[in-house]
Chain A
Amino acid sequence: MPERAYTAEEMMTVAAARALSRRAVCFVGIGLPSAAANLARLTHAPDLILIYESGAIGARPDVLPLSIGDGELAETASTVVSTPEVFSYYLQAGRIDVGFLGAAQIDRFGNINTTVIGDYQNPKVRLPGAGGASEIATSAHEVFVIVRHSKKTFVEKLDFITSVGSGKQAAGGARGVTRVITDLGILERDSDGKELILTRLHPGITPEQAREATGWSLKTVGQLKETPPPAADELATLRDLHQRTRQAHGA
């Protein structure tokens, strides 16, 4: 296999950025979702509205925030509202097109665990918990998840359902998790709306690799498409963003 000029994580971030349409209002989590959403804003979607759950509305950070509380978000936002206001007036009121989440575990229906690995009362690993994810999953019109593809993460049964991504509990026509972008490819909800199925593979990845990294028997569409590799400007913009971020956070 020829050596590629980009990493699997860069491919994943670029694929996630491309999934955001040009004028979406996007509720963004820290980490990979924030990197992807800002990459979209700095490339094909300059009018993308980014909302962070700390209350920064229309944030345009020059460096990626380490935390949703970073001053960079407030300084570059159209407005900063209180936490009750961002959750009530913006998220639960149905003003968000896309919620962008990460996951520690995800199941075939798009339900997400970010609470515990193991038993809740005696956990093997205590994870941070829901944050705003459980209401993002049910209030945003649709939800994208960006997560590395492995059997540890893509599980048959969640240890804990933190966020209902199946669309079952969704308010006012919200659809739950419709797309999962990984370092191997992209999963989307199938036509009957129940299960996430593999629709795209990144260059050089085989269907077997994706199936082996999935804890349930992963369905694939008949004609699997290949994700176009990162373009030069996408890669350059992403690397500049990470470089600025590393300098800013003293890492």
Chain B
Amino acid sequence: MTPDVIYDQLIGMGCARKLVFSWGGNPGVGSLHRFRDAVENGWPRRLEIEEHSHAAMASAYTAGAAGLPFAVYRGGLGSDLPKVNPMIRRIECPFTGEELAAVPAKRPDVTVIHAQKADRRGNVMMWGIIGVQKEAVLAATHSIVTVEEVVDELDAPPNAVILPHWVVSAVCEVPGGAHPSYAQGYSQRDNAFYRAWDSISRHREVFSDWMRRHILETDDFADYRARLRESPDA
């Protein structure tokens, strides 16, 4: 739905062939510059885009999770989006005749999400702004969940948002794994980093150098976090 800094990094390193999305910016800051450079100038490679609105994407994941072939939503018709995305079609309600928009279900090969806790069997618990994480896991063939901590007991109230262990492929304990995003109750959104990303990502050379020093030349996530603490803006 909303490609973030990680997507910008993947796009800028030429790792992405196609982006399916509904909002591609750095919220409250401005552009995702690597995304823009790929779309506007084809750097470092051309990026195919499949563009929707949020309601379409949210419904498409819900349909994917439900095993249904398509999703129905209001809005979208009359805008120019269906002209540039042939996956947005008109459909008539067979009962009322109301004209609605339809999109195919989303079924990712792999969904990767971050959550707060898992128990030792792999049951996952999350709370806060959960977005489409539950639907994206249930719609996917495989799923990887990184968590802040693995605990003996989740102590979950009956209506907690839980992904049962048997719908999750793998759980990894990665504290702070959502950075620069966050996990409610464990960390804060690193808004200063989102601001810093604007200047890191604005120019190709600065971006490539930053990626080399922070991603390519670090051993693992912990090493990356340590490098970041030393030089957040450079």
Interface of A toward B, CB cutoff 8 Å? 30-31, 53-56, 65-71, 73-75, 80, 82-84, 87-88, 91-92, 115, 120, 123-135, 137-139, 160-164, 168-169, 171, 248-251
Interface of B toward A, CB cutoff 8 Å? 1-2, 21-25, 27-29, 31-32, 35-36, 39-40, 51-55, 58-59, 61-62, 73-81, 84, 127-132, 134-135, 181-182, 184, 188-189, 191-192, 194-195
13 pairs, A vs B, C-beta closer than 8 Å: A30-B28, A66-B194, A71-B184, A74-B184, A84-B59, A115-B80, A126-B35, A128-B23, A130-B81, A134-B81, A162-B79, A169-B79, A171-B75
Q: Are A162 and B80 in contact (CB under 8 A)?
A: yes
Contacts of A70 in B (CB 8 A): 189, 191
State A171–B189 Cα separation when bound (angstroms).
36
Name B27's contact: one of A67, A126, A171 (CB within 8 Å). Answer: A67
Q: Are B81 and A162 in contact (CB under 8 A)?
A: yes
Give 10 nearest A-B pairs by CB, closest first.
Answer: A128-B25, A135-B75, A67-B27, A66-B28, A169-B78, A131-B23, A130-B53, A132-B54, A250-B192, A164-B78
Contacts of B128 in A (CB 8 A): 71, 74, 80
The A-B contact count (CB < 8 A) is: 169
Contacts of A130 in B (CB 8 A): 22-23, 51-54, 79, 81
* Given A130-B23, A135-B75, A171-B74, residue A82 in contact with residue B130 (CB < 8 A): yes
Name A126's contact: one of B36, B52, B73, B75 (CB within 8 Å). Answer: B36
Q: Are B40 and A125 in contact (CB under 8 A)?
A: yes
* Given A92-B73, A129-B22, A169-B75, residue A66 in contact with residue B184 (CB < 8 A): no
* Given A74-B128, A128-B23, A130-B23, residue A83 in contact with residue B78 (CB < 8 A): no
Q: Are A55 and B129 in contact (CB under 8 A)?
A: yes
State A120–B85 Cα separation when bound (angstroms).
11
**Additional A-B contact list (17), CB under 8 Å, known A67-B28, A126-B39, A139-B75:** A30-B28, A56-B129, A65-B28, A69-B189, A92-B74, A125-B40, A127-B25, A128-B32, A130-B81, A131-B22, A132-B55, A133-B53, A135-B53, A169-B78, A169-B79, A171-B75, A249-B195
* Given A66-B27, A67-B194, A126-B35, residue A135 in contact with residue B76 (CB < 8 A): yes
State A53–B192 Cα separation when bound (angstroms).
22
Main secondary structure of the interface of B (DSSP, over half): loop
Main secondary structure of the interface of A (DSSP, over half): loop
Contacts of A169 in B (CB 8 A): 75, 77-79
Name A120's contact: one of B31, B76, B84, B189 (CB within 8 Å). Answer: B84
Contacts of B62 in A (CB 8 A): 84, 88
State A49–B127 Cα separation when bound (angstroms).
22
* Given A129-B23, A130-B53, residue A66 in contact with residue B29 (CB < 8 A): yes
Contacts of B181 in A (CB 8 A): 69
Contacts of B77 in A (CB 8 A): 169
State A70–B51 Cα separation when bound (angstroms).
24
Residue in chain B with minimal CB distance to A251: B195
Contacts of A123 in B (CB 8 A): 39-40
State A168–B77 Cα separation when bound (angstroms).
10
Residue in chain B with minimal CB distance to A70: B189
A131 smallest CB distance to B (angstroms): 4
Q: Are A132 and B129 in contact (CB under 8 A)?
A: no
B14 smallest CB distance to A (angstroms): 17
* Given A65-B28, A80-B128, A87-B55, residue A160 in contact with residue B73 (CB < 8 A): no
Contacts of A73 in B (CB 8 A): 129
